[in-house]
């Protein structure tokens, strides 16, 4: 995202927050900017602790409760999704429209671009073409291990216990691999 688009997105979010009646303070403004920057400029789906660390570098007086409240408002307004990958915390991702697909590294949180994402979203939207089903706005999550982490030797076994890892074990068992 270039600087101009980043500024526009930030202004759009700030305006919606003000309109919702949520009181914007300098601290909350800083949190929104930090969340956006991490996601859009660094391609990271940050967890709450990461957001806190980044924000506290700019203002050490900001606490976790303020982060949670601000993130909750962003989520209620539909700008972000909180993604639970069984890591024991939620990662924050930005919604792109009514249907969003978030793919990211389960180890470092780096966003992974999906080839033909638009086609994929269109395929999901086609579900609404059948009369028996109305699709709700929602975010789909896909997790994996990014190139960087893989080249550093991170494997499925290194990930903290959680859904991602458990799924791997079940898959291996189903395929008849020996359990370690």
Return residues touching Zn ion (CB under 5 A): 105, 107-108, 110, 146, 149
What pairs with residue 82 in β-bridges?
92
How far apart CA 155 and CA 117 sit, in angstroms, is 26
Q: Least CB distance from residue 143 to Zn ion, whole Å?
A: 10
How far apart CA 46 and CA 44 sit, in angstroms, is 6
**What is the b/e burial string over 48-60, where b = at least 16 CB atoms within 10 angstroms of the residue's CB?**
bebbbebbeeeee
Q: Least CB distance from residue 106 to Zn ion, whole Å?
A: 8
* Binding site residue list: 105, 108, 146, 149
66 or 107, CB closer to Zn ion? 107
Q: What is the DSSP string of 82-138?
A: EEE-SSSSEEEEE--SSEEEEEEETTT-BB-PPTTHHHHHHHHHGGGGSTT--PPPE
Which tokens sit at 62?
């900001």
Which tokens sit at 126?
């086609």
Q: Least CB distance from residue 39 to Zn ion, whole Å?
A: 15
Q: Least CB distance from residue 144 to Zn ion, whole Å?
A: 9
* Binding site residue list for Zn(2+): 105, 108, 146, 149
51 or 159, CB closer to Zn ion? 159
31 or 149, CB closer to Zn ion? 149
89 or 177, CB closer to Zn ion? 89
């Amino acid at each position: 995202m270039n600087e101009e688009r980043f500024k526009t997105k930030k202004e759009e979010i700030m305006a919606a927050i003000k309109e919702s009646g949520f009181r914007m303070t300098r601290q909350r403004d800083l949190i929104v900017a930090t969340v956006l920057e991490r996601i859009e400029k660094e391609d990271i789906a940050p967890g709450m602790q990461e957001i806190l660390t980044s924000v506290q570098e700019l203002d050490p007086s900001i606490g976790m409760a303020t982060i949670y409240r601000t993130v909750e408002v962003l989520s209620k307004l539909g700008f972000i999704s909180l993604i639970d990958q069984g890591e024991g915390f939620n990662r924050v991702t930005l919604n792109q429209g009514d249907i969003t697909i978030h793919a990211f590294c389960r180890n470092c949180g780096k966003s992974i671009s999906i080839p033909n994402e638009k086609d994929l979203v269109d395929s999901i939207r086609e579900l609404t073409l059948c009369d028996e089903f109305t699709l709700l706005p929602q975010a789909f999550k896909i997790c994996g291990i990014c190139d960087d982490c893989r080249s550093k030797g991170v494997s499925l076994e290194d990930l903290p216990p959680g859904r991602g890892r458990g799924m791997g074990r079940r898959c291996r068992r189903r395929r008849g691999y020996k359990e370690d």
